[in-house]
Amino acid sequence: MLMTRMREPATNHARSASVCTVCRPLGGTVTDLMYLSEQKLYGRLGIPRINSQREVSGSLKFPPVAPIVEISTSRSWSEERRESATLDDLAKGVKEIERNHDPVAFTDSNLRPNRWIRFDLDMAHAAVHEDSGQPPEDVALFVGGVPAGSGGQPRDTGVLLCGSVQHLRTRMIPAGRMGSDTTWLHDLVLALERREQEGLHVIPEFLTDVVPSRRPDHLREAAAMGVFGWTAREYPASCRSRMRGHAIVLMDVDGPHWVHRLVVASPLYVEVPLSSPGARRRLRFPWRRRALP
Task: State pLDDT tens for residues 49-86.
Answer: 876 444 444 444 444 544 555 544 444 444 344 445 57
| pLDDT score for 84 | 54
92 in a domain, yes or no? yes
159 in a domain, yes or no? yes
289 in a domain, yes or no? no
* Residue range 194-205: mean pLDDT, rounded: 93
| pLDDT score for 85 | 59
What does DSSP say about strands 104-105 and 116-129: parallel, antiparallel, or unpaired? parallel
Cβ–Cβ under 8 Å, residues 70 and 62: yes
| pLDDT score for 158 | 96
d(CA 79, CA 269): 25
Is the model more confident about 192 or about 170? 192
- How many structural domains comprise the chain? 1
| pLDDT score for 30 | 58
273 in a domain, yes or no? yes
292 in a domain, yes or no? no
290 in a domain, yes or no? no
Residue 223: phi and psi, rounded to 5, are -65, -45
127 in a domain, yes or no? yes
Q: Which residues constitute the domain of residue 147?
A: 3-284
Is the model more confident about 52 or about 158? 158
Task: State pLDDT tens for residues 123-138.
Answer: 999 999 987 777 888 9
| pLDDT score for 69 | 53
Query: Taking CA 245 as the corner, what is the angle to CA 196 and CA 31, rounded to the nearest 5 degrees?
Result: 120
291 in a domain, yes or no? no
